[in-house]
Chains A and B, each alone.
Chain A
Amino acid sequence: MITYVYDGSFEGYLTTVFEIYNRKKNPDGIFTTSTYMPFLMEEKYEVSTNIERAQRVLAGIESKGSKDIAAKIYNVYLSEHPAMEMLLFQYIKLILQKGSAIEHDYRQPEILKVKEINKQIHREVHRMHAFVRFQKTTDNLYYATVTPDFNVLPLIGEHFEKRYSDQHFMIYDSKRNYGLYYDQQQTMMVECGAEQLERQSEFVAEEKVYEALWKNYFQSVNIIERKNVKLHLRHMPKRYWKHLTEKK
Chain B
Amino acid sequence: MDRINQKLTVLANAAKYDVSCSSSGSKRKNQDKGLGNAEGMGICHSYTEDGRCVSLLKILLTNHCIFDCAYCISRRSNDIQRAAFTVQEVVDLTINFYRRNYIEGLFLSSGIFKNADYTMERLVRIAKDLREIHHFHGYIHLKAIPGASAELLTEAGKYADRLSVNIELPSEESLKRIAPEKNYEEIYTPMNFIREEKQRYTDERKSIKSTPLFVPAGQSTQLIIGASPENDVQILNLADSLYKEQQLKRVYYSAYIPIPTDSRMPNLALPPTLRENRIYQADWLLRFYKFSVHDIVNDLHPNLDYDIDPKLSYALRNRHVFPVNINTAEYEMILRVPGIGVKSAQMIVTSRRFGNVHFDHLKKMGIVTKRAQYFITCPGAPAASIDRHSSQVRQLIQSPELRKKNSQLILFA
Partner pick for B9 among A144, A216, A234, CB 8 A cutoff: A216
Judged by DSSP, the binding face of A is helix
CB-CB under 8 A for A133 and B102, given A218-B54, A222-B49, A228-B51 = yes
* In the assembled complex, B365 has its CB within 8 A of some CB on chain A: yes
What is the bound-complex CA distance between A209 and B35, given in angstroms? 21
CB-CB under 8 A for A236 and B30, given A210-B97, A221-B15, A226-B273 = no
- Is the pair A222, B354 in contact by a Cβ cutoff of 8 Å? no
* In the assembled complex, A227 has its CB within 8 A of some CB on chain B: yes
What is the bound-complex CA distance between A230 and B57, given in angstroms? 24
Whole-angstrom distance between the Cβ of B226 and the nearest chain A Cβ: 12
- Is the pair A134, B100 in contact by a Cβ cutoff of 8 Å? yes
Across the interface, which residues of A come within 8 angstroms of B34, CB to CB? 165-166
Residue among B43, B45, B135 with the most chain A CB within 10 A? B45
CB-CB under 8 A for A228 and B49, given A166-B33, A220-B12 = yes
Whole-angstrom distance between the Cβ of B120 and the nearest chain A Cβ: 24
Residue among A129, A144, A214 with the most chain B CB within 10 A? A214
- Is the pair A225, B350 in contact by a Cβ cutoff of 8 Å? no
* In the assembled complex, B381 has its CB within 8 A of some CB on chain A: no
**Number of A interface residues, CB 8 Å?**
53
- Is the pair B350, A106 in contact by a Cβ cutoff of 8 Å? yes
CB-CB under 8 A for A226 and B271, given A210-B100, A217-B8 = yes
Whole-angstrom distance between the Cβ of A66 and the nearest chain B Cβ: 15
Whole-angstrom distance between the Cβ of A97 and the nearest chain B Cβ: 14
Chain B contact patch, size range = 35 or more
- Is the pair A222, B50 in contact by a Cβ cutoff of 8 Å? yes
- Is the pair A213, B45 in contact by a Cβ cutoff of 8 Å? no
- Is the pair A130, B48 in contact by a Cβ cutoff of 8 Å? no
Across the interface, which residues of B come within 8 angstroms of A218, CB to CB? 46, 48, 54
Whole-angstrom distance between the Cβ of A203 and the nearest chain B Cβ: 11
Residue among A213, A218, A235, A236 with the most chain B CB within 10 A? A213
Across the interface, which residues of B come within 8 angstroms of A102, CB to CB? 354
Across the interface, which residues of B come within 8 angstroms of A213, CB to CB? 1, 4-5, 8, 93, 97
* In the assembled complex, B257 has its CB within 8 A of some CB on chain A: yes
* In the assembled complex, B206 has its CB within 8 A of some CB on chain A: no
* In the assembled complex, B211 has its CB within 8 A of some CB on chain A: no
* In the assembled complex, B154 has its CB within 8 A of some CB on chain A: no
Q: Hey, what's the 0/1 contact readout for B25-53 against A, CB within 8 Å counting as 1?
A: 00001100111110000011111111111
Across the interface, which residues of B come within 8 angstroms of A42, CB to CB? none
Partner pick for B30 among A109, A165, A206, A244, CB 8 A cutoff: A165
Q: Considering only CB atoms, which chain A residue lies closest to B48 in the complex?
A: A222
Q: Considering only CB atoms, which chain A residue lies closest to B257 in the complex?
A: A225
Across the interface, which residues of A come within 8 angstroms of B36, CB to CB? 163
- Is the pair A227, B16 in contact by a Cβ cutoff of 8 Å? no
* In the assembled complex, B96 has its CB within 8 A of some CB on chain A: yes
* In the assembled complex, A248 has its CB within 8 A of some CB on chain B: no
- Is the pair B47, A144 in contact by a Cβ cutoff of 8 Å? no
* In the assembled complex, B400 has its CB within 8 A of some CB on chain A: no
Q: How many residue pairs at the A-B interface have CB separations less than 8 Å?
A: 157
- Is the pair A112, B96 in contact by a Cβ cutoff of 8 Å? no
- Is the pair A142, B100 in contact by a Cβ cutoff of 8 Å? yes
What is the bound-complex CA distance between A234 and B51, given in angstroms? 8
Whole-angstrom distance between the Cβ of B326 and the nearest chain A Cβ: 12
- Is the pair A209, B1 in contact by a Cβ cutoff of 8 Å? yes
What is the bound-complex CA distance between A164 and B95, given in angstroms? 11
* In the assembled complex, A162 has its CB within 8 A of some CB on chain B: yes
Across the interface, which residues of A come within 8 angstroms of B405, CB to CB? none
Q: Considering only CB atoms, which chain A residue lies closest to B98 in the complex?
A: A163
Q: Hey, what's the 0/1 contact readout for A85-118 against B, CB within 8 Å counting as 1?
A: 0000000000000000010111101001000000
What is the bound-complex CA distance between A245 and B45, given in angstroms? 11
Q: Considering only CB atoms, which chain B residue lies closest to A217 in the complex?
A: B12
Across the interface, which residues of A come within 8 angstroms of B16, CB to CB? 220-223
- Is the pair A232, B13 in contact by a Cβ cutoff of 8 Å? no
- Is the pair B347, A223 in contact by a Cβ cutoff of 8 Å? no
What is the bound-complex CA distance between A109 and B99, given in angstroms? 43
Across the interface, which residues of B come within 8 angstroms of A104, CB to CB? 347, 350-351, 353-354
- Is the pair A112, B364 in contact by a Cβ cutoff of 8 Å? yes
Q: Considering only CB atoms, which chain A residue lies closest to B13 in the complex?
A: A220
Across the interface, which residues of B come within 8 angstroms of A235, CB to CB? 44, 47, 51, 53
**With A166-B135, A217-B57 already in contact, 12 other A-B pairs whose C-beta atoms are closer than 8 Å:** A107-B355, A130-B45, A164-B35, A210-B96, A213-B5, A216-B12, A221-B15, A227-B50, A228-B49, A229-B51, A235-B47, A245-B102
Which 10 pairs between the two chains have the least Cβ-Cβ distance? A231-B51, A104-B350, A220-B12, A226-B50, A228-B51, A222-B48, A235-B47, A105-B354, A162-B37, A221-B16
A residues with CB within 8 A of B: 102, 104-107, 109, 112, 126, 129-136, 142, 144, 162-167, 184, 206, 209-210, 212-214, 216-218, 220-232, 234-236, 244-246
7 contacts between A and B (CB under 8 A): A163-B138, A164-B35, A212-B1, A220-B13, A225-B271, A228-B51, A245-B100
